[in-house]
Amino acid sequence: MHNSNSINHLASFATIDLFRQQRTGMPEIIYAASKTTAQTIAIAEHILSHHRRVLVSRATAEMVPALLAHFANYQITRGTADRIITIASPDSQVVAIQAQVGIIAAGTSDLPAADEAATVCYELGCQVHRVTDVGVAGIHRLFEPLRQLLLVPVDVIIVAAGMDGALPAVVTGLVDVPVIGLPTAVGYGYGAAGEAALGTMLQSCAPGISVVNIDNGIGAGAVAARIARLAHQARTKETSQ
Amino acid sequence: MHNSNSINHLASFATIDLFRQQRTGMPEIIYAASKTTAQTIAIAEHILSHHRRVLVSRATAEMVPALLAHFANYQITRGTADRIITIASPDSQVVAIQAQVGIIAAGTSDLPAADEAATVCYELGCQVHRVTDVGVAGIHRLFEPLRQLLLVPVDVIIVAAGMDGALPAVVTGLVDVPVIGLPTAVGYGYGAAGEAALGTMLQSCAPGISVVNIDNGIGAGAVAARIARLAHQARTKETSQ
Amino acid sequence: MHNSNSINHLASFATIDLFRQQRTGMPEIIYAASKTTAQTIAIAEHILSHHRRVLVSRATAEMVPALLAHFANYQITRGTADRIITIASPDSQVVAIQAQVGIIAAGTSDLPAADEAATVCYELGCQVHRVTDVGVAGIHRLFEPLRQLLLVPVDVIIVAAGMDGALPAVVTGLVDVPVIGLPTAVGYGYGAAGEAALGTMLQSCAPGISVVNIDNGIGAGAVAARIARLAHQARTKETSQ
Amino acid sequence: MHNSNSINHLASFATIDLFRQQRTGMPEIIYAASKTTAQTIAIAEHILSHHRRVLVSRATAEMVPALLAHFANYQITRGTADRIITIASPDSQVVAIQAQVGIIAAGTSDLPAADEAATVCYELGCQVHRVTDVGVAGIHRLFEPLRQLLLVPVDVIIVAAGMDGALPAVVTGLVDVPVIGLPTAVGYGYGAAGEAALGTMLQSCAPGISVVNIDNGIGAGAVAARIARLAHQARTKETSQ
Amino acid sequence: MHNSNSINHLASFATIDLFRQQRTGMPEIIYAASKTTAQTIAIAEHILSHHRRVLVSRATAEMVPALLAHFANYQITRGTADRIITIASPDSQVVAIQAQVGIIAAGTSDLPAADEAATVCYELGCQVHRVTDVGVAGIHRLFEPLRQLLLVPVDVIIVAAGMDGALPAVVTGLVDVPVIGLPTAVGYGYGAAGEAALGTMLQSCAPGISVVNIDNGIGAGAVAARIARLAHQARTKETSQ
Amino acid sequence: MHNSNSINHLASFATIDLFRQQRTGMPEIIYAASKTTAQTIAIAEHILSHHRRVLVSRATAEMVPALLAHFANYQITRGTADRIITIASPDSQVVAIQAQVGIIAAGTSDLPAADEAATVCYELGCQVHRVTDVGVAGIHRLFEPLRQLLLVPVDVIIVAAGMDGALPAVVTGLVDVPVIGLPTAVGYGYGAAGEAALGTMLQSCAPGISVVNIDNGIGAGAVAARIARLAHQARTKETSQ
Amino acid sequence: MHNSNSINHLASFATIDLFRQQRTGMPEIIYAASKTTAQTIAIAEHILSHHRRVLVSRATAEMVPALLAHFANYQITRGTADRIITIASPDSQVVAIQAQVGIIAAGTSDLPAADEAATVCYELGCQVHRVTDVGVAGIHRLFEPLRQLLLVPVDVIIVAAGMDGALPAVVTGLVDVPVIGLPTAVGYGYGAAGEAALGTMLQSCAPGISVVNIDNGIGAGAVAARIARLAHQARTKETSQ
Amino acid sequence: MHNSNSINHLASFATIDLFRQQRTGMPEIIYAASKTTAQTIAIAEHILSHHRRVLVSRATAEMVPALLAHFANYQITRGTADRIITIASPDSQVVAIQAQVGIIAAGTSDLPAADEAATVCYELGCQVHRVTDVGVAGIHRLFEPLRQLLLVPVDVIIVAAGMDGALPAVVTGLVDVPVIGLPTAVGYGYGAAGEAALGTMLQSCAPGISVVNIDNGIGAGAVAARIARLAHQARTKETSQ
């Protein structure tokens, strides 16, 4: 900020990353909500000069047309409400791994968060299996799609739910794979910001569920992707690290 | 407190109760938690000199043996953990009404609250139908008992649940009668005092559910009893007031 | 989202609804707040191709003129602040049932929520009796209108109140029918989002009240409608299910 | 603590109190909850060597018999649950002032806090007029005693209430004198620690009410006493300071 | 809402106000925040057809010019940030009473709330004495103005403060008249919505303070006005009711 | 409760568990906190008549000696503070699976929760690798033990932490396997009940972490066990269900 | 507000500041968020007529161009997102003191708050050393820049962090100088407003850290400046006051 | 826990502490609250075999006599309510440094926390200057002792306060040295657990204050000690690290 020589900006020294020589799976993601359109485009271009694919999460309504225009020569895939956008070189491809992820969204309002999660898993190479609109208000509708997920079989299931947030606990009680609860900020009144959904998921009677923060679809996808990669490595005799 | 004549205790004048000439159904209940054993016994005796039955809620562990001894000549019925105790003249009987109440407890920890509700309904004359231990951790176990409740058919269902508190929303989505959510203070960590259960019930996606406060089994029973009496009066052509 | 064949969208299989062959009363409601005008109109049209009446709740200010124009050939009934809008075929009629619902709004600010509740009850066929602007700041004004409600007699009373939220407790203490507390997000400072009103209703000294979430007029109406239908069925010898 | 001369305890210098040459009314009060019995007795003796009367609030159950024995030669007046105890020289008297305070307790559970307030007002010399057990669960019972308070007439009214805490708002809407809301930690579940009562009082629709903290009967009494003294001074032509 | 004759609007019957034949002091106030400009003007006109003065609180920025234009023939007095506006007939006058109110604002950000309180007191006829910008960040600046307030002498002091909200406790410790704490929603971070100020005022070590809700300047003024009128009545031998 | 034939206890019908023919891994656990010693022993005996091993969590101090005496002929393994106790037939053995779980406890106060998790994983057959006392107050001490965990390599890491709860985020940033944050109720003041630790874990900057509720070591172990079993099945070519 | 002579504005008397004859270091700061552009410019001009430098914090987007234009003849230095702006006479200079402050920002989102702190320290004359983007998601990157800060050596370190807020605890464990935690309102979901970061900093296991309120960069800078001045005075033999 | 070789306890490898070759000042402290008497004594003995002095914080009432008996040959210094106890070899001495710390306790209830802070500072070698019982309920009493603290002059001031917690803000406005706010869990009702005091300190209008967690006297002392050591090093030309 100040150019005065009384403020020293210490160089960000190259540090040897002993623990992760290469990140094997987590795609590059730009969190656009706190950036200008120009900044977002510049960062995306910079990443695309090194990688062939980049994700943009939480682009504002103003930002989207500019992104589409600027990256017209790229493959663009847009999640619900544009909450996650994939920009990919036309000839780039995701390298598939031997892993299956199930993603259940309780209602259509939960799709933006669920799409964040799905995109992260897809970019890692997972097969993603989606189920939508099977909330607890008509729980009997859950069984057939859930049975199909188990027939795949999926390695892990993400369940996104707002309002009462009751679906993940129900699913956890019915399956044996790891379940990731993804509460969403859908509702009104007491607990409207997603904390009712978060609370019920943390209190789940059924052991085998863990949760991420409200609306943190990226986080849910990252956890599922780590689990999926573990399964892939076990299947292909790769070592875990 | 002060006997000084500078503090006047205004007499509690008899007031004409325009709205409720006679309470038709709500039994007399002594809230014992904030009373001594002697006070509780004295009040119970006073009530039994006018009524033939009295309920004692939240008696302390010390209080119970004294109550049992003192009222040895009465019929005593004790709810789970003695949270509600009925003291009745040996020859007294509840006057049955034409109304059916279903009460579901998600787990055994929810029984004290559920018993409070059941006792209030029973004292009013309702037929009470109980289901226990059918939480969402194994939701498929819910269906057969619930089907039986609907075959009665019940007029109203109380669902007591702690931890994730997800059961009432599931039940509401499966039935068409009024559902009363009764959250209980069972759980630990975030939301342990029952507020996670309360939150999920207030946020229920399924319309048709209302809630009472955490652990307020008396209140849940009172609401159910008002609904049941309404049905009874409609069936027997009584007027509502 | 992704068209890639590595994401499978499991078909939403037809499921046999064992518990509710036909929903007998709850009207179709579109929650418009999270939808575009085009989406809302499309869904309304779709519903109107199967049903003769549809409700739209929480339409945005921008949406209302478009709805009015698009459905100019329909009967339109608008609640306070357009929070609930009924779109009905000109020749459609609600099938009246033998049930009476009382709805009390403490102040004019509580009317949007109260109108949601009233509309749901009306659509089910209930007779709805309204009282407005009788808050506890002048409690004596409550008695005459409340006496009239009891003379109807009403089967159930919804009481909407924000700010101190004290009215439902007062009403519950004066009547014997079920009371549904509907807290509203009216107020400022501590408890401004309706949680003070919610808290006082949950803590009500008078047994016989249950509550729905803040501003959830739809939910309050749905509970009242279930109770009303129960009374209707009892009066007309229908079975409950 | 340390006797080492490296820790200096600065003397508590005599300071000239420019604003209050003499406190005219607030009695001496010992907050016993965080003291031992020996400390409490020692402090009480010290005060009684300078004043003829002292109050002890929140004495523990263990402490009370010791106080009674030690001060056997004094007049002892005990509030509900011994939450406030007056120890007075046998020949001491309160100097009456021309001021009237009304104190309403919604339920018997509110008496300990109400007694704290009453005692503070009494010690200042106010006439205190008490009304008990007139909660909103039967609001019609309030009117006659309240009318009598207004006939005194009282200068200020304290209203103690727990649970729903709705009574102070109702009273404020019916009278024109200042009302002090005194929420109590009575209740269970959501808002059980008195915050539901506090919230509804702070949100009161009726202007003319202010509140003190939960269970702060001493504080409510002190405010009422300041108001009462103001009225007394105005009546007797004293100046306010 | 519905014109259907199946919804009855019970007439708001004239009720005899046994407790307050005439409100002697509280001015008419329109809460404009939830009203349109047209509604606000219409209500103001209606009130001015019966009274000679009316207050408008929380007028929106859009509303103010329209009010000024519409009531150009009236005396208009505007509080800070137009949060309270007085519209008075040119020849109307406030009837002075023998009562003095002190109002201290800790900072300039607290002026909108303080002005609400001042206006209510002024309209009742009180002499109002203002002190501004004497927060605890330089507590020594408080003493001289406070000394002057005590020389008036004032009957009651309102202290408005946001941020740390510490000033009311300090003032209460220095004076003997009733103090009303008025917390304001000024600050950021933890406690930013005024709850830190509210909390510290409720916890005040100095007995003699009561509080109103955050930013509730109207309420603070109403309490002060009730106290002031009490003093006035005592001075002029009027009875309290 | 009531033996009266007006309360029907619907039989808990045998239901066909379509989704989990056999739970493959989750051990039987008795939650002893809400049970009497007699009940706990009876349930443990009942389970041991069907299984060879049972876990008892949250046994009270009174309960432990009775358990040790009653099951003197069994192998007893006790976790820190007896929060989890394993009772096993002398000749019973855990069936090892090919899976490795790392469990890090930030401090010794986190050991009871960490031991719950370790025991669940051990009972499933996982190899469990423990690291203790490596909190962020000396973060450099973390690296060597963490490097060793990665050399195993572990399939999943549980990190238990109270107080600041910062360790799981740090670990997640250094490894690529799934991390499960286990907040503990260790600390004092603001956030003392574990909610500060929970909050920081939910907000973790490093993607790849999910959390369980405060002190829910059983839940953390169950999630880890599901992940471990997935890896085992992939390695041994079993199918997931 | 009212011009009526019934409202007296007590003159703000000159008070002798016994404790701080001259503030030695804290620069003049205008909090612009609650002011109009005209007010901000007027106040800045007023200050610049007495001082040569002034800071403007939290200028709105609309305000900045007007400030730049109006003070075109001054040196303008702008912090990230213009949250703090320095306006200085062209020939004015900060008087350097012998003190070194380190400021670490966990991420780029924390820069606005960190810049507030840096500017306050710079204006006092401190040497400021900045490190940016070293959050716990890759904690190994922290060590080299931190080692350089310690080689300066710095007298105090401010650590700004949002999201998990874990960095200050880590830094405190690695250094021996005072650390000031500056939580920022960066994040979403549970704890999104900065309270998760605040909580973890208050709970820090490592002794030697104190915190300021969320986003209070001015406050963090002021504390660091007081510490730095203390060190300067000790080095230059000045007395502390 | 398990001795089975399927659970490996990774050795806690010696790690080279690059940043702090020797901690220069922070004394060894045993947090006794979560330990048994035997454990506490064993740890104290272990530390005393390497150091000549050890602190025990939060010893339980049962633990104190055992400590006194066991270490009868040592110098024992006990803080208020035994919340901090110093055990020192008879011939050990604290090495004084050139630094002065002021510690103000608003009331006697704040002494346990203040004593924790004082002891930590004393053990580091600071001169500690204490002021007690100068809360804002009589703010004028603060000035003379505060003036004396400034005459020392002190390098830093810790201010411990519960209830309204207003004192630290007042002090910060009157002095120029760093102030550390130490909120204590003293009070009742809203904010009783110290969060009202914490909130008002975080919101302080006066810049120059930072805070530690509620009742964290150890932490306050550690921060003050780091500041004091900085001043000492500056005075004696030592380098900071």
Secondary structure in 3-state letters for G158-197: EEEECCCCCHHHHHHHHCCCCEEEEECCCCCCCCCCCHHH
Say if residue F57's pLDDT is above 60: yes
Contacts of H150 (CB under 8 A, 6+ apart): G19, G241, H175
Chain centre to alpha carbon of residue A186: 18
Q: Which residues of H touch E205 (CB under 8 A)?
A: 106-107, 135-137, 163-164
Query: What average pLDDT does this structure show over B14-28?
Result: 49
Chain E residues within 8 A (CB-CB) of chain H? 106-107, 135-140, 163-166, 169-170, 172-174, 187, 189-192, 195-206
Chain B residues in contact with C24 (beta carbon < 8 A): 176
What pLDDT is recorded for position H217? 97
Nearest CA in chain B to F196: B190
B207: nearest CB among C175, C198, C219: C219
Residues of chain C with a CB closer than 8 angstroms to some CB in chain D: 106-107, 135-140, 163-166, 169-170, 172-174, 187, 189-192, 195-206
What lies within 8 Å, CB to CB, of H98 at 6+ separation is H231, H232, H235, H236
* Residue in D53, D57, D77, D128 to test binding to B, most B beta-carbons within 10 Å: D128
pLDDT of F136: 83
Instruction: Answer yes or no: do H190 and E199 touch at CB < 8 A.
Output: yes
> Tens digit of pLDDT for each residue in A9-32?
543 322 334 444 344 457 889 989
| Cα gap F210→F212, rounded to integer Å | 7
Nearest to F133 among H12, H17, H214 (CB): H12
Q: How far is CA F84 from CA F47, F120, H6, in A?
A: 16, 9, 18
pLDDT score, position G232: 95
Q: How confident is the model at residue F221 (pLDDT cuts 50, 70, 90)?
A: very high
Residues F107, F110, F111, F116: is their CA dihedral positive or negative?
Answer: negative
pTM of the model: 0.92
What is the sign of the dihedral through the CA atoms of H174, H176, H177 and H181?
positive
Q: Coil, strand, or helix at residue E53?
A: strand
Of F130, F191, F192, the CB nearest to H7: F130
Q: Record the tokens describing residue B166, joined without a space.
A: 């997800």
pLDDT, position B50 = 86
pLDDT of F184 reads: 97
D173: closest CA among D146, D154, D199, D148? D146
* pLDDT (0 to 100) of residue A212: 98
Query: If you average pLDDT over every residue of chain D, what do you get?
Result: 87
pLDDT at F35: 84
More confident residue, G100 or H141: G100
Q: Where are the alpha helices (DSSP H) in A71-187?
A: 111-124, 143-151, 167-174
> CA separation (Å) from E179 to B48, C149, E154, E161, G230?
50, 44, 11, 13, 40
For residue H233, the model assigns a pLDDT of: 93
d(CA C219, CA C216): 5
**Percent of chain D topping pLDDT 70:** 88
The confidence score (pLDDT) of residue H7 equals 57
Position with higher pLDDT, A13 vs B70: B70
Query: What average pLDDT does range F66-74 have in this prediction?
Result: 96
**pLDDT for residue C115:** 97
Burial of E141 (C-beta count, 10 Å sphere; 0-12/13-18/19+): buried
In order, the DSSP letters of H12-35 are ------SS-SS--SPPPEEEGGGS
CB contact under 8 A, B205 and A164: yes
Which residues in chain B have their CB less than 8 angstroms from residue F7's CB? 118, 122, 127-130
Nearest to H210 by CA among H196, H194, H193, H227: H227
Partners of C191 on chain D (C-beta within 8 Å) are 199-200, 202-203
- Kindly provide the ipTM of the predicted complex, given to two decimals: 0.90
- Whether C186 and C163 have beta carbons less than 8 Å apart is answered as yes
Say which residues have a Cβ less than 8 Å from residue G29's Cβ, sequence separation at least 6.
Answer: G54, G55, G56, G57, G120, G218
Number of A/G CB contacts below 8 angstroms equals 76
If one compares B228 and G14, the residue with the highest pLDDT of the two is B228
Binned at pLDDT 50, 70 and 90, residue G141 comes out as: confident
Q: G8–E128: do the CB atoms touch at under 8 Å?
A: yes
Half-sphere exposure of G11 (CA within 13 A, CB side): 3
Q: What string of H, E and C letters represents the secondary structure of chain D?
A: CCCCCCEEECCCCCCCCCCCCCCCCCCCEEEHHHCCHHHHHHHHHHHHCCCCEEEEECCCCCHHHHHHHHCCCCEEEECHHHCEEEEECCCCCCCCCCCEEEEEECCHHHHHHHHHHHHHHHHHCCEEEEEECCCHHHHHHHHHHHHHHHHCCCCEEEEEECCCCCHHHHHHCCCCCCEEEEECCCCCCCCCCCHHHHHHHHCCCCCCEEECCCCCHHHHHHHHHHHHHHHHHHHHCCCCC
* Range from B8-22, C78-92, E194-208 carrying the lowest mean pLDDT: B8-22
What confidence category does residue E7 fall into, taking pLDDT thresholds of 50, 70 and 90? Answer: low
Please classify residue F232 by burial: count the beta carbons closer than 10 Å to its beta carbon, then call 0-12 exposed, 13-18 middle and 19+ buried: buried
Per the CB < 8 Å rule, is G19 touching H226?
Answer: no
Q: Has residue F8 got a pLDDT over 60? A: no
Q: Tokens in use for H220?
A: 């306050």
Do B185 and D190 lie within an 8 Å CB cutoff? no
* Average pLDDT value over all residues in chain A: 87
Collect contacts of F18-21 with beta carbons under 8 A, ≥24 apart.
F18/A143, F18/A147, F18/B140, F19/A146, F19/A147, F19/A150, F19/A174, F19/A175, F19/B140, F20/A174, F20/A175, F20/A176
Res G34: pLDDT: 77
Show the tokens assigned to G220. Answer: 């963090």
Structure-block tokens of residue C174: 């004066």
Residue F125 pLDDT: 94
Task: Rank C13-17, C139-143, C218-222 by mean pLDDT and report only the highest.
Answer: C218-222
Is pLDDT above 80 for E24?
no
Joined tokens for residue A94 = 């995701």
CA distance G186 to G194: 6
C-alpha to C-alpha distance for C230 and C221, rounded to whole angstroms = 14
What percent of chain F is modeled with pLDDT above 90? 68
For residue H3, what pLDDT is reported? Answer: 42
In this structure, what token pair is assigned to residue F176? 């690529």
Going by pLDDT thresholds of 50, 70 and 90, the confidence category of residue E105 is: very high
Tell me whether residues B118 and F215 touch, CB distance under 8 A: no
Chains G and A touch (3+ CB pairs under 8 A): yes
Q: What is the DSSP track for A2-33?
A: --STTEEE--------SS-SS--SPPPEEEGG
Phi (first) and psi of residue A180, to 5 degrees: -115, 115
Tens of pLDDT, residue by residue over A136-178, are 888 878 988 999 999 999 999 999 999 999 999 999 999 999 9
**pLDDT class of D25 with cuts at 50, 70, 90:** low
Residues of chain B positioned with their CB less than 8 A from the CB of F195: 190
CA distance D43 to D49: 10
User: Which candidate from A6, A12, A198 shows the least CB-CB separation from G122?
Assistant: A6
**F67 residue type, one letter:** L
Which chains share 3+ C-beta pairs under 8 angstroms with F?
Answer: A, B, G, H
Band of pLDDT at residue G25, cut at 50, 70 and 90: low
d(CA E37, CA E60): 9
Task: Tell whether the torsion through CA atoms of F210, F215, F218 and F224 is positive or negative.
Answer: positive
pLDDT value at position D122? 95
Contacts of G127 (CB under 8 A, 6+ apart): A6, A7, A8, G96, G99, G100, G101, G152
Q: What is the pLDDT of residue A240?
A: 44
Beta bridge partners of G223: none
Least confident of E6-10, E120-124, H105-109, H169-173: E6-10
Structure tokens, F23: 């739970």
Residue E103 pLDDT greater than 60, yes or no:
yes
**Of A137-151, C7-21, E78-92, which has the strongest mean pLDDT?**
E78-92
Mean per-residue pLDDT over chain E, rounded = 87
| Rounded average pLDDT over G62-71 | 95
Question: What is the C-alpha to C-alpha distance for residues C228 and C99, in angstroms, rounded to an integer?
Answer: 5
Tokens of B136: 């969402």
CA distance B13 to D142: 9
Q: What is the interface size between E and G, counted as CB pairs within 8 Å?
A: 76
Kindly write down the DSSP assignment for every residue of H105-126, as one continuous string.
ESSGGGHHHHHHHHHHHHHHT-
Nearest CA in chain B to D146: B10
State pLDDT tens for residues D125-181. 999 999 998 878 888 788 889 999 999 999 999 999 999 999 999 999 999 999 999
Those chains having 3 or more beta-carbon pairs within 8 angstroms of chain G are A, E, F, H
Radius of gyration of chain A (CA): 20
**pLDDT at residue H134, as a whole number:** 86
Verify whether the Cβ–Cβ distance A176 to F226 is below 8 Å.
yes
The whole-number average pLDDT for the span F94-119 is 95
Residue B208: both structure tokens together: 């048709």
The pLDDT score that the predictor gives to residue H66 is 96
Encoding tokens for residue E149? 């307030």
Mean pLDDT of A113-128: 96
Mean of pLDDT values over C109-126: 95
The greatest distance separating any two alpha carbons of chain C, rounded to the nearest whole angstrom, comes to: 69
pLDDT at G181 over 60: yes
- Chains C & E: contacts with CB separation below 8 Å: 76
Q: How many other C-beta atoms are found inside a 10 Å radius of the C-beta of residue F90?
A: 8
H143 contacts in G (CB within 8 Å)? Answer: 18
Is the model's pLDDT at B20 over the cut of 70?
no
Does the pLDDT of residue D65 top 90, yes or no? yes
Confidence of residue F140 (pLDDT cuts 50, 70, 90): confident
What H or E segment, with its residue span, contains residue F44?
Answer: helix F37-48
Residue F238 has a pLDDT of 54
Give the separation between CA D175 and CA D150, rounded to whole angstroms.
8
| Contact predicate G58/G80, CB 8 Å | no
| pLDDT computed for residue A217 by the predictor | 97
- For H68, left (φ over 0), alpha (ψ -120 to 50), or beta? alpha
Cβ proximity of A210 and F211 under 8 Å: yes
